[in-house]
């Protein structure tokens, strides 16, 4: 029994420290996951959502500290009871999320390892078994150092965990596991390989055959059944390939400019998932950032999920005038754990990323001013009844005499005409007069 307890002690202690550290590296990200659990669609306790960050920090610090306590043998009864209560709660939570398909990823290991709901549940079941062994054999858990050294290590573990959590909140995660980390290319992260696995769906077709309801399952094809069709339900039985970057966009109300901006060099993006809750200290730094970026020939834009009123209000309040574009709020929370946060991109490659507390650390050396593309003048060919004419003659025609006007731009016919006549027209206006 003693050997079994010692093995369980090492496995549980190491796993709790590892899991807690991964989440402690990004407590803001874990708080977003807790908000998802607290939402009406999952546990329906939305009154806890405003306290998600505080709960997040407490849980992950406690998780690391319990792992340390267990390994060094500090207060074994308190430690084992705490571990047991925690794992029972999380086992229930992961079972609920998996059984009712409420949450796709538990967030147990942050963005480092993504586990499916049922994988998470069985992981917690295995941990529960190990902790039950510890609970039964708690008398075999002895301190590995003297009382003073054990107490000092336990206290240091708590202080260092708390400091590390505070540090990453005031700056950025020490290790960035997301697809927007420095050195990652956002545009490449959106690509889906040609040989990527496709999702597999199962279709359940319901028919009424001879007065009885009958269900036939196919991979999508309509079954050959002699009966009355009732309905069909589709279920994904195997997920397809999901690219690392999803839901990221740079849009206006009418246009998608994502590709355009991800092909730009020396682009500075200010990210604020919500301008309504932007940190004032960060917003006050945006004017100086904007001026420095433009002075050194960088293009600067903003990305937010907020509406036009909020954009205008922020620009007026903080004396900035760069354009804010639209992006999904959840995607922006993934891009940078700061509101606001700042990125420097070069053709989609993330060169720099900083928390608003560290905007002064952003290095924007002067770069060559981009050459403005020359506006091509319109060279139009004018025809009246297929006879070459001039713009003035066309404009002088009485509108009542015109039967039709055909305008050709960027068309095969225009290319053929230029090739045959050795011309460079970029448009043709052909006027047909009434007989």
What H or E segment, with its residue span, contains residue 353?
strand 349-355
The answer to whether position 140 is within a domain reads yes
The CA distances from residue 171 to 111, 205, 338, in Å, are 18, 53, 8
Residue 317 lies in a domain: yes
192 dihedral zone (left: phi>0; alpha: psi -120 to 50; beta) = beta
Same domain, 62 and 89: yes
Inside any domain, residue 369:
no
* Residue 276 sits in the same domain as residue 414: no
- Of 134, 153, 171, the last residue of a domain is 171
For residue 72, pLDDT over 70 is answered with yes
Structure token pair of residue 11: 């496995």
Residue-number span of the structural domain to which 295 is assigned: 257-361
Q: pLDDT of 301-348, one tens digit each?
A: 999 999 999 999 999 999 999 999 999 999 999 999 999 999 999 999
Mean pLDDT, the chain, integer: 88
Strand 299-304 to 324-326 pairing:
parallel
Q: Comparing 14-28, 86-100, 297-311, 414-428, which segment has the lowest mean pLDDT?
A: 414-428
Domain presence at residue 250: no
pLDDT > 80? residue 372: no
Q: What is the pLDDT of residue 264?
A: 93
194 is a domain residue: no
**140 and 83 share a domain?**
yes
CB 317 within 8 A of CB 162: no
Count of helix runs (H) and strand runs (E) in the chain: 14, 12
Q: What is the CATH number of the domain that holds 347?
A: 3.40.30.10
**Based on the number of CB atoms within 10 Å of its own CB, is 114 exposed (0-12), middle (13-18) or buried (19 or more)?**
middle
Question: What global pTM score does this model have?
Answer: 0.75
How many CB atoms are closer than 10 A to CB 4? 14
Same domain? 11 vs 106: yes
Does 227 share its domain with 292? no
Distance from C-alpha of 66 to C-alpha of 80, rounded to nearest angstrom:
9
Do residues 58 and 157 both lie within one domain?
yes
Pairing of strands 349-355, 341-346: antiparallel
Output the pLDDT for position 66.
94
Q: How far apart are alpha carbons 334 and 248 in whole angstroms?
A: 10
List the structure tokens of 112: 């480092």
CA atoms 17, 117, 34, 271: torsion sign: positive
Structure tokens at 250: 């740079």
Asked if the structure places residue 244 within a domain, the reply is no
* 393 and 348 belong to one structural domain: no
Based on the domain organization, do 429 and 347 belong to the same domain? no
Q: Are residues 30 and 135 in the same domain?
A: yes
Asked if residue 96 lies in contact with residue 116, where contact means CB atoms within 8 angstroms, the answer is: no
Identify whether 425 is part of a domain.
Answer: yes
Residues 136, 62 share a domain: yes
Share of the chain above pLDDT 90, in %: 52
- Hey, what long-range contacts does 197-200 have (CB within 8 A, 24 or more apart)? 197/238, 197/240, 197/241, 198/240, 198/241, 199/236, 199/238, 199/239, 199/240, 200/236, 200/237, 200/238, 200/240
Please identify which residue in the block is written with the tokens 């908000």.
35
Hey, what are 432's tokens? 């047909």
Query: Per the structure, how many domains does the chain have?
Result: 4
> Helices 52-72 and 76-99, interaxial angle, to 10°?
130
Query: Of 361, 390, 411, which residue is a domain's last?
Result: 361
- The string of pLDDT tens digits covering residues 232-286 is 888 877 778 889 998 999 999 888 999 999 999 999 999 999 999 999 999 999 9
**Together in a domain, 394 and 357:** no
Q: Is residue 261 part of a domain?
A: yes
Residues 37 and 151 in one domain: yes
């Amino acid at each position: 029994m003693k050997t079994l307890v010692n093995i369980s002690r090492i496995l549980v202690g190491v796993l709790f420290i590892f899991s807690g550290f991964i989440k402690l590296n990004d407590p803001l990200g874990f708080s977003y996951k807790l908000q998802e659990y607290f939402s009406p669609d999952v546990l329906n306790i939305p009154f806890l959502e405003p306290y998600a960050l505080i709960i997040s920090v407490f849980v992950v610090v406690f998780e690391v500290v319990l792992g340390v306590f267990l390994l060094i043998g500090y207060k074994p009864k308190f430690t084992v009871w705490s571990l047991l209560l925690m794992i029972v709660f999380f086992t229930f939570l992961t079972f609920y999320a998996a059984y009712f398909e409420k949450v796709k990823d538990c967030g147990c290991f942050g963005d480092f390892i993504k586990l499916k709901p049922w994988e998470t549940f069985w992981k917690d079941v295995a941990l529960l078994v190990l902790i039950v062994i510890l609970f039964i054999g708690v008398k075999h858990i002895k301190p590995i150092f003297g009382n003073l050294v054990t107490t000092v290590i336990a206290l240091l573990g708590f202080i260092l965990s708390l400091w590390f959590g505070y540090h990453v909140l005031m700056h950025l995660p020490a290790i960035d596991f997301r697809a927007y980390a420095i050195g990652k290319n956002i545009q490449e992260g959106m690509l889906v390989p040609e040989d990527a696995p496709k999702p597999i769906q199962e279709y359940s077709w319901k028919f009424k055959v001879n007065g009885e309801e009958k269900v036939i399952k196919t991979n999508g094809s309509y079954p050959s059944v002699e009966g009355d069709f009732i309905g069909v339900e589709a279920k994904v039985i195997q997920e397809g390939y999901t690219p690392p970057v999803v839901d990221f966009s740079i849009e206006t109300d009418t246009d998608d400019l994502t590709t355009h901006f991800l092909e730009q060099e020396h682009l500075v993006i200010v990210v604020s998932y919500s301008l309504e809750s932007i940190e004032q200290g960060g917003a006050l730094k945006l004017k100086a950032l904007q001026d420095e970026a433009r002075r050194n020939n960088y293009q600067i834009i903003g990305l937010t999920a907020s509406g036009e009123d909020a954009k205008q209000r922020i620009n007026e309040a903080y004396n900035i005038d760069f354009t804010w574009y639209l992006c999904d709020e959840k995607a922006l929370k993934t891009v940078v754990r700061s509101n606001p946060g700042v990125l420097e991109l070069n053709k989609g490659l993330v060169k720099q990323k900083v928390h608003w507390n560290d905007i002064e650390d952003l290095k924007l050396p002067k770069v060559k001013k981009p050459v403005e593309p020359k506006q091509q003048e319109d060279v139009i060919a004018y025809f009246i009844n297929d006879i070459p004419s001039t713009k003035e003659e066309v404009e002088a025609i009485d509108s009542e005499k015109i039967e039709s006007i055909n305008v050709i731009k960027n068309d095969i016919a225009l290319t053929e005409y230029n090739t045959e006549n050795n011309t460079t027209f970029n448009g043709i206006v052909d006027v047909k007069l009434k007989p």
